[in-house]
Amino acid sequence: MILLIHKIGGRIVEVRKDGEPMIVSSDPCNAIWNLAEKFPEEKILWVEDELKEFLDPRLAEKRILHERIMVSYAVNSKFLPGNIGYVDQLPFININPEIKFPTWRMSSDVGGIKGKTLLSFKEEFKGIRNFDFLLNSIAKVGQQNGLFCYSDPGLLQLNKLPKTANARGGDAELFSFVHRHYKTIWVYVLFFCLIRYENRLPITAFLKAFFDKKFFGKVIDIPEITQTAEVNEASIDVIIPTIGRSKYLQQVVKDLSRQSLLPQRVIIVEQNPAPDSTSELVQMLGEEWPFEISHIFTHEAGACRARNKALKEVKSDWVFFADDDIRMNREVLENVIKEAVRLDVECLNLNCKQEGEETVFKKIKQWGSFGSGTSLVKSHFALQNEFSEVFEHGYGEDADYGMKLRNSGCDIIYHPDLELLHLKAPVGGFRKKPVLEWEKEDPLPKPSPTLMILGKRYYTSKQMKGFKISLYLKFFRKQKTKNPWTYLKNMEERWKRSEYWSARLEREIIYQKTHAIKRIKE
């Protein structure tokens, strides 16, 4: 283990290898490349001089579990200001400082990465002279190429966690970073937002950014993880909500019965809103299966309610969330748990494709969403959370549940090599829904009220403004009104109606839950 101690990211104070001092360049960027070349198998830590007393190097070293991990923690300083939210609405921007949280936003305050992993980026980034810029560039490009990047409070032994950290980067660094790491259109969006919302005109920083080298879309080969995994003791429950797809569901259960690693139980929540309806699964439930089947039949429709009912029945170490119209090969459950253990993660999203469909994302990576019909989750985290019924019959429940997992300390990893076949059944399913009250408005609220709820719950104020601007730009091409002033007036009204309905939906859910609790007590 190598420890690099620096002063405000600008000068090396000391470097130690296994406690012994070393002589290296006084420049942090040069030093970290040289150390990675000389000691590729070592874990390289960095810490700000005034924070070194809070660092136990041996404990911090253990936070870098394998070759695909990069960690840091912002105590006094972060690199980019919150204005990055104008151009990025993914979950990795608004960091929860209380827990280990997935993010590419690295800090030079304290952090670490393995030497040979660092070397993968040298050819692209050796010209960067700003230490904070370098760390954030490695993480931003690395995250898209299979590097797992985290804000980790466990790196330091602090009595009190910081609430805020000051940004070292200004407009010049921000525009340069956005141009290098995003599509060029986002440089213009950022410039517009600063004029529109902050009454500023950073013309020099805006223009200079276009002379910087692009890193967007760069392919980097991250070293493979050397550790292996065994799943002999692993147990798994499978959750399947279903409505009107008995034939498809039976195929799923048969596939589960042929698994090399059998589930302990399959929890089926069958819904039929017709008051006089009965189960369509009587014959299937009467058959012999190599696992326990827990069957719940209800007239109350909705995928969120169904999954919440099923979660209450979970007893195993892992939960597999499955759709009722998928097919899987016999090694899927065994392989998905092996990979979760090998990668040391608590949630894997599988690659669910239709027949003949090409894989879009071909690398294992930290995932910005969550698939509620294609995911494995450690039960410890799955049972801490529930699907919010405010999204029932709408869209956004997957993303909301994913954010709840992240804020519980559970990262979500997409795995392209673990595949499911999605049959996309033409009958049944949970998207067959009644017309909602807000859908009767003309024009419709924009965005949909459930997506507005997502933004209000998890975006920073600047992410929300960036989301609004990007929505207006994207939708302009898809509608008939080409007069920009008429369009803006119309969209402002639709946005306000979306805010109204999102607040109303939230209030209605709170009201329903409050009265449900009262009825239970009575």
Place of tokens 């002279």: 129
Q: What angle do CA 451, 456, 459 make, to 5 degrees?
A: 100
Question: Which residues lie across from 508 on neighbouring strands?
Answer: none
Please check the confidence at residue 522 and state whether its pLDDT lies above 70.
Answer: no
Containing 166, the helix (H) or strand (E) segment is strand 166-167
Q: How far is CA 430 from CA 47, 211, 244, 245, 266, in A?
A: 50, 50, 9, 11, 19
Cα 405 from Cα 400, distance rounded (Å): 9
Predicted confidence at residue 200, as pLDDT, reads 96
Predicted confidence at residue 365, as pLDDT, reads 96
> Per residue in 143-186, pLDDT tens?
999 999 999 999 999 888 877 788 999 999 999 999 999 999 99
Predicted confidence at residue 513, as pLDDT, reads 67
Please check the confidence at residue 435 and state whether its pLDDT lies above 80.
Answer: no
> Per residue in 505-519, pLDDT tens?
999 888 676 655 555
The total of other beta-carbon atoms located within 10 Å of residue 479's CB is: 12
Q: Are 62 and 38 in contact (CB under 8 A)?
A: no
Question: Which residues lie across from 70 on neighbouring strands?
Answer: 113, 149
For residues 479-506, average pLDDT: 92
Q: Are 148 and 68 in contact (CB under 8 A)?
A: yes
Q: What is the CATH number of domain 236-422?
A: 3.90.550.10
Predicted confidence at residue 161, as pLDDT, reads 81
Place of tokens 């420049």: 27
> Per residue in 338-362, pLDDT tens?
999 999 999 999 999 999 899 999 9
For residues 191-196, average pLDDT: 96
Please check the confidence at residue 55 and state whether its pLDDT lies above 70.
Answer: yes
For residues 363-380, average pLDDT: 95
Predicted confidence at residue 443, as pLDDT, reads 87
Residue among 129, 85, 131, 81 nearest 109 (CA): 131
Q: What is the C-alpha R_g of the chain?
A: 25
Residue 497, C-beta contacts closer than 8 angstroms, at least 6 positions apart:
438, 441, 445
> Per residue in 41-52, pLDDT tens?
999 999 999 999
Predicted confidence at residue 392, as pLDDT, reads 87
DSSP E strand boundaries for 305-396: 318-322, 326-327, 347-353, 365-366, 374-378
